[in-house]
Amino acid sequence: MRRALILLTVAVLLVLSTCSKSSPPRSSSGSSSQRVPSWSEDTLNAAAAYAKEIGSAAVLVLHEGQVVFSFGDITRKYMCHSIRKPFLGALFGIYVERGIIDIDTTLEALNIDDISPSLTSFEKQAAIRDLLMSRSGVYHEAAGEAQSMIDARPKRGSHRSGTFFYYNNWDFNALGTIFEQTTGKKIFDAFNKDIAQPIGMEDFSPHDCTYVFELSKSKHPSYFFRTSARDMARFGLLY
């Protein structure tokens, strides 16, 4: 995993030249395509019809860094929901490489806890690595949980850290707290400086992003990014 994080950091530094050669179109609406060999015009038209049918706001297809097809308003800033998780994961990769974050540090060592019923000593043995993999074994209530996540949440203490995957908002909310506590930087400002600007995102602004607290559930807020389809495409190129 450490090697993957290092490679991701290198990619952040190298991808700007790629992005500058393959900028997504600046047109704000409608659909367009540049006929790249092996892409069927009929199939792309069918994809556009399907995107419209299911209510998609924007679609952007890239092939080897070149725009093949776009649908909808690719410059409008949309709520990104769970894309916040790979965004934050990418930030962790950068700060691991800089030697600021050690992903084997435990919650106990970081003094991470939560509201009553607070974390047990058993739960505090989870490390940053476990949270990044949604394998913390911490099944405390969390801000921003969908009902399906609440219904699927295992019982407290039922799994040891690192042994069981559960798509856990608590993990990623706590990771936000850990990132800011460890680096001294706000998530959205760090993302802007360390990722959005280097890869040439055109629409992202930290001012469009928000923290959402549900203090009756947890002290750790969820945090939501807003950005455009063309900026998301740049992040896709990064990966």
Domain ranges of the chain: 2-11+78-225, 25-72
Burial class (CB in 10 A: 0-12, 13-18, 19+), 131: buried
| Per-residue pLDDT reduced to its tens digit, 138-188 | 999 999 999 999 999 999 999 999 999 999 999 999 999 999 999 999 999
Percent of the chain's residues with pLDDT above 70: 85
The whole-number pLDDT of residue 239 equals 86
Of 186, 222, 229, 221, the C-alpha closest to 206 is: 186
Check if the beta carbon of residue 158 is closer than 8 Å to that of residue 143. Answer: no
Minimum mean pLDDT range among 13-17, 61-65, 165-169, 172-176: 13-17
Local confidence band at 38 (pLDDT 50, 70, 90 cut-offs): confident
Can you give the pTM of this predicted structure? 0.83
Q: Please say whether the structural domain 2-11+78-225 has been given the CATH code 3.40.710.10.
A: yes
Query: Hunting for tokens 């992903």 — which residue is that?
Result: 103
User: What pLDDT digit, counting tens, does each position of 100-114 carry?
Assistant: 999 999 999 999 999
Give the β-pairing of 58-63 and 31-33: unpaired
C-alpha–C-alpha distance, residues 94 and 195, integer Å: 9
User: For residue 131, what are the contacts with CB-CB under 8 A and spacing of at least 6?
Assistant: 138, 171, 172, 174, 175, 178
Q: What angle do CA 9, 13, 16 make, to 5 degrees?
A: 135
